[in-house]
Amino acid sequence: MKQKLMEMLELRKDEMIQIRRHLHQHPEISFQEEKTAQYILGFYKGKDVEVHSNVGNGYGIIVTIKGGKPGKNIGLRADFDALPITEEADVPFKSVNEGVMHACGHDGHTAYLLVLADCLIELKDEIPGTIKIIHQHAEEVPPGGAKSIVESGLLDDLDNVFGIHLLPMGPSGFVGYNSGFAFNGRAYLKLKIQGRGGHGSSPHLANDAIVAGAHFVTAVQTIISRRLSPFDIGVITIGSFDGKGTFNVIKDSVELEGDIRYMTIETKEKIEVEVKRLVRGLEEEFGVTCELTYENDYPPLYNDPELTAKVAGYLVGANDPIITEVKEVPPMSPSEDFAYYAEKFPSCFFYIGCSPKGVEKPYYNHHPKFDIDEDALLVAAKAVGHVVCGYYEEN
């Protein structure tokens, strides 16, 4: 099966590139991917598979490939939403949707998985188990699509889930992996501080919300420096402080927004407790009232160590000349809603190098000039294909 699959994928490399370019040219932002979903559904039309559409809280699609033999059930996931970014990459298939761009590689994720899935459909009689292809909407915007797809119950029979991400962390042929906590979790906070306005000449008759807010911006950083162990990872960013007014008027209210990152569940819980404690103290110290919105978006992504070790072994043992390096890499600081699959099923999420050829310092994901080496699409398809074949050979 492995040899057949690899030969089929190699013959369809150009098709992967064509699909990626079509999707790149017609991007749609999270929760608005109607035409992208229609394109994906059209790809599977007439094929001998079970298809569920509009899964979860948007345009999620699950395609079930039932193998010809009994065995374990796995999921392969790719996301398909784009970003609200105006494209600056100099490519002939530039986005035609103004202000929207596939700046994170999800077009490539979908392209490789469509072709891989089609090849697996052709070989399904040789598959000892069931493979569910998870085309996921809305990875970029909380609450995301993954959580609702998991909650749909359509994946309850899975044993494991696998996914990849195109990252310019190396050239095409590089495959990276990380065992344990691999991506940060993320939370969002909004704090409205209500004081009492007044004239700058009479501060004693007012209650300055800006002073209270400024104190919070400084104090909240002590959670990281004085409440977390030096061995824990946490970041708090206050990215918005809406306190604009007139130079000689004391503001009666301000509103702050922040982004919080953490690598473990314990750190997540510690930061939330401490933020709420600081807000209560702010009210007491400055005599203001506070309205705090604190939302946990995506949990930390945990790669099952045993499964991840097997994935690395499958990739190294493949001896595929297109996979030039398989290497363990440090944890990633962004967040990923693949974490919801990994919460429910032992999972592995790994990385495919895609730095454009001849570019020493490639633009990273989410940059308006982000681009990939399209050779990485075949690497992604073959890498996941090797994992599927290695998994079923072992199970």
Per residue in 65-95, pLDDT tens?
A: 999 999 999 999 999 999 999 999 999 999 9
Q: For residues 175 and 350, is the Cβ–Cβ distance under 8 A? A: yes
> Greatest CA separation found in the chain?
83
Helix H or strand E encompassing 193: strand 185-194
Q: What is the pLDDT of residue 395?
A: 87
Within 8 A by CB and 6+ apart from 240, the residues are: 255, 256, 257, 258
Peptide bond into 143 cis (omega under 30): yes
Catalytic: 81? Answer: yes
Q: What is the pLDDT of residue 58?
A: 98
Q: Which of 81, 107, 208, 371 is catalytic?
A: 81
Q: Which of 87, 139, 140, 375 is catalytic?
A: 139
Q: For residues 173 and 379, is the Cβ–Cβ distance under 8 A? A: yes
Sign (positive or negative) of CA dihedral 323, 329, 332, 337: positive
What tokens were used for 326? 């398989």
Catalytic: 87? Answer: no
> How many beta carbons lie within 10 A of that of residue 225, not counting itself?
9
Low-confidence ranges of the chain (pLDDT < 70): none
Q: What is the pLDDT of residue 171?
A: 97
CA distance 64 to 204: 69
Amino acid present at 99: G
Model-wide pTM > 0.75: yes
Q: What is the pLDDT of residue 87?
A: 98
Helix H or strand E encompassing 340: helix 339-344
Q: For residues 299 and 339, is the Cβ–Cβ distance under 8 A? A: yes
CA distance 27 to 22: 9
